[in-house]
Structure 1
Amino acid sequence: MEEREELEALRQELVRANYEYYVQDAPTMSDYDYDHKLRRLEELEAAHPEWITPDSPTQRVGGQVSEGFQEVRHRVPLESLQDVFSMEELAEFDQRVREVVQDVAYTVEPKVDGLSVALEYENGLFVRGATRGDGLVGEDVTENLRTIRSIPLRLPEALPRLIVRGEVYMPRTVFAQLNEAREQNGEPLFANPRNAAAGSLRQLDPKIAAARRLDAVLFNVQYVEGRSFETHSESLDFLEQMRFRVIPRKACASIKEAQEEVAAIGARKGDYPYDIDGAVVKVNSLSERTVLGSTAKFPRWAAAFKYPPEQKEAQVLDIQVQVGRTGVLTPKASLSPVRLAGTTVTSASLHNQDYITEKDIRIGDTVLVQKAGEIIPEVVRVVKEKRLSDSVPYHLPDHCPVCGAPVARDVDGVAIRCTGAECPAQLLRNLTHFASRDAMDIEGLGPAVVEALVNAGLVKAPGDLYHLQAEKVAQLERMGKKSAENLLAAIERSKENDLSRLLFAFGIRQVGQKAAKVLAVRFGNLDALRAATVEELTAVDDIGEITARSLVDWLHSPQAEHLIATLKEAGVNMTSSVQIAGDKLAGKTFVLTGTLQRFSRSEAGERIEALGGKVSSSVSKKTSYVVAGEEAGSKLTKAQSLGIPVLTEEEFLTLLEEA
């Protein structure tokens, strides 16, 4: 077979496989065969880039990172729907419709709780996709929509123009996995799948959107050339023929049948792969829709029935505290089993101490529970009249339930964290931070390798890194002898790092890179720093009382003392190579911009700090000098506009020598 013929055949096979897997949920091609064929297609397209087309399966994540989204004016407005909250209101909607048209028939569909989008096709090719926005103007998110594999890039029929409307959503299973990962990483949880879908679709990097595994379901033909339809049902049948995932719907001959279907959808809300926040009742005849028209806000031919949240009582049997990867203590209520939205609920997150205090939740309380967004169990309120007489207010523990170290509340937030230097719950996060570029800079020790080392039981604290054996590391998956040797060499090199890097690597609350450098220069070695009092620390520029107390508490905790002793024994450097050379630049603030020839910005900053000066990342009226290297940018322009002295690299060197 000629390469061009092979390429076309592969594309057709992969497009069909995508449709079977992502739309029909009935794959006939194995993952192995799919990956093998996709790789071969990539090879052919790499050898013949002139053969690449926008609808190729390889182009699902082909867009570049965007600086922002362009506005899109919708050819047909994406209208919102009028809400109704009872069967009586739905009957009133029907009465208004029948005042205009007779013998009306309806369709009823679940209302997906996602992000509404319009997809545009020209000659059968997907050319643009946009968010709803205000209904008239949305945002161009074409590249992110291309990552959704249930959206066809080319249609079986090359219609001159087709615009369809649908809902982008995050499947319930994907949402649960995403939030679980975010919780482990100490990241804020998404409140519901809709927020997660909206945030994912508006990522400027399509690769991030692709990783979120979004899906889409279509529910309307907005505009079409080359086809005509008499009913809404007929138009949706056509979209299915065009290989879209289409909303399930039922044709109803009367409002009574529509009401019955609305109730049936409500009873099976938990059966859908996506969240729904209601059911949509639509006039089926497209000509009757035209006659009915729209108000300034809503179409007169449709209504959205909103289901009330299901709430039930449960008893708080216990409050358990989990410790995440970042040390945050998260309380969770253990509940007496209760059936909600199709599943049995036995627990609910209580988020933090402020949440517990605000709702006054206590062990033994009877509480009203519902599912936020139909998926996350939450406590609505305490049923105070059923409270036990001997109940007492609940407070999170003062010490970590995992390692026993003291806990501390974030200065600028509600989180309460474990301060343990070797807390097992934080091990993955602590090791990853310890090895990161701005900390100990251990090349090759990324999150995946860290996790492999921990899972194999080779590392239980940062100090264990310096006692790893090459033969054991080589046995890890995807490592091998050479990779193990390279990793151990990088770990060995890290022993020579400056004290400032080690201080930052410890991950002490309030001690960032800048504070670590200031402290390392001021005290010279770790022993001197550990001997410093809070008063002595606060006398150092840029070190406030909160940072000083956090530092003293951490350095004198049992876990930190053990960690430091282990690192000392391993030969890790605990002194600063940058010594104070004087205070001739005290009170002077420098901003570095552009490329310097004699040294890096980091080295220039160390020279300034060694002479008592400060380095800032932004230009302001308080800036003393701006040092401008080659290709200096906006900082130089701002300095000139403010009249701040600008030094060339030569002038900067002269200043350092004089100081």
Structure 2
Amino acid sequence: MTVLTDVDGLDEAAAAAELADLAAALGQANHAYHTNDSPDITDAEYDALKRRNAAIEARFPHLKREDSPSEKVGAPVAEGFGKVTHAVAMLSLSNAFDDTDINEFDGRVRKYLGLGSDVAVNYTAEPKIDGLSLSLRYEKGRLVQAATRGDGAVGENVTANALTIADVPAKLERAPELLEVRGEVYMSHADFEALNRRQLEAGAKTFANPRNAAAGSLRQLDSDITKSRPLRFFAYAWGALSDPLADTQMGAIERLRALGLSTNPLTSLCAGPAELVAHYRTIEEQRATLGYDIDGVVYKVDDLALQERLGFRSTTPRWAIAHKFPAELAWTRLESIDVQVGRTGALSPVARLMPVTVGGVTVSNATLHNEDYIAGSDSKGQTIRDGKDIRVGDWVQVYRAGDVIPKVADVDLKKRPPDAVPYVFPETCPECDSLAVREPGDAVRRCTGGLICPAQAVEKLKHFVSRAAFDIEGLGAKQVEQFYADTWIKEPADIFFLRQRFGSGLQQLKNREGWGEKSANNLFDAIDEKRTISLSRLIFSLGIRHVGEAASNMIARHYGSWERFDAAMQSVGESGSSAWEDLIGIDGVGGVMAQSLTQAFAQQAERASIDRLVAELSIQPVERPTTAGSPVAGKTVVFTGTLEKMTRAEAKARAERLGAKVSGSVSSKTDLVIAGPGAGSKAKKAAELGVDVIDEDSWLALIASK
């Protein structure tokens, strides 16, 4: 899987700006698709937006927005329908786009469950219907409510309309007392064509595709209109249940079929990734002759007990994934290569292309990742594209399946101009002419100019005012660029002197386009409001390489106050100090991140800049959360050795839910060590320090009732 490397050269300010654009674009697309039943972009384009958003969030987790599309399912219900709160949320699925993704999915499942390669994990594979999700609630065998997915938590009450669908029984025999059936409403190709003919004859609006027709038909306020439309329904899952349907996914599907519900005959049981991909190929070959639209194949862990253990992320289950069909490719000419400089000094090459349409979108730029990618190898020296390098003037293949910013996937050597020369990656910064170096093990070359590099300075300031940092209303990327160009701000502390700089006259600022006395005073007030800031936001705002939002939260919780954190950063390099061990002992903070932190505070210029900023702030200490009744709330615990009854990931998640802090190393501040077979140095150190050590059974007994 190559999605994450597609954003390796993206700096944080550009990433934050792109995430904002993606949130707006996906919000509009969801509204058009789910609420208006009139999508304004293709499925491939939507998948590209979602995948790009996920890739950026994975690369920069600290930039994840409160309105992140990855935390949303569907769209709010439209006016005119009653609202239905789902007893069990109707979640979406994460996507896969190639065979490697499927192997990684299987690997994640096995890793989370602690299963070796010798243990069989079966999956079901079924066509992913391109329709409208519907939930049918049966009580004592009678359909009492039907609801669309909506935003996943609240849907629209379409009971009267659902009862007009031939595949939706009004009554089920021998069903559990409570049964919520989940499935997809769709329209066949033949019925869609016949409907559009009737619409034309009647002078009415025609539909763009069967999915739009199905969704628009189900969501009619007049159920007689729905009744006149040829809708179908496939059942593939369930929500609330009074009694289990079966022990396996396949068994449950067979039970739904036995109850009289329509299920997809292409659903198959597969033993591992190879069989999943083989069934995907079989379905892909039949796609054109199925008579209805599908856009991929859905895989689910078959054992329902394992599904229960795997659980859910915020909007997707860990035990399922949708293997989407590929989007389009296109060929065009590479006209030039530009190099952009980011906040951390990363030099990122961008391909400027002769505009070409790919998947319905005009593309003129593409990422080239880094200098190795251009040369035809990855960062480890392994050959990619059969070793073909990329040169200005080449005809290149552009691929958009999972990327808003496309990537150059291949080169046509037969069309290479005779005067094309290998691209020489710059060894000096194009912004400040400082030396650009590539550290061992790093895929990216970086400018060493630091604060003297205008590109880095501006990007650092953009990061400082970003949503997850100081989030100053009225001071965004555009204003930062303007104020920097005018030499009004050169470092974060300067922001808090803007009111003082302009005084009461404001004439300098008012002379700039878009500014008046009221807007200027509003900005100064917004800046003053942010003089009080949380410790985690402050740490994140400093823009220290490798220290994202999640890491900033962990570091803030560990130290509790700026004074303790600052003292630790000053003493971490002292001979014989335990500060370094304490820092890398924070769960989630490794040597690379710790080194980046300490280097930032050790650099005289950067340290002075931080001190000037802190002098203008009131930094709020972290309130220690407690969990009432938890035997481990507020305690620091360490897991070591092999856990036999749950995986390390499960154990850590359980401990944190109970209010414990999970550390990666043992120290005098450790309260409890849970040691499994093979526990070594950590258990020994705990004994030396007098820290309580218990086995896994004792740990489970301790938290059994919580």
Normalising to structure 2: TM-score of the pair?
A: 0.40
Normalising to structure 1: TM-score of the pair?
A: 0.42
Higher relative contact order (CA closer than 8 Å, sequence separation 6+): 2
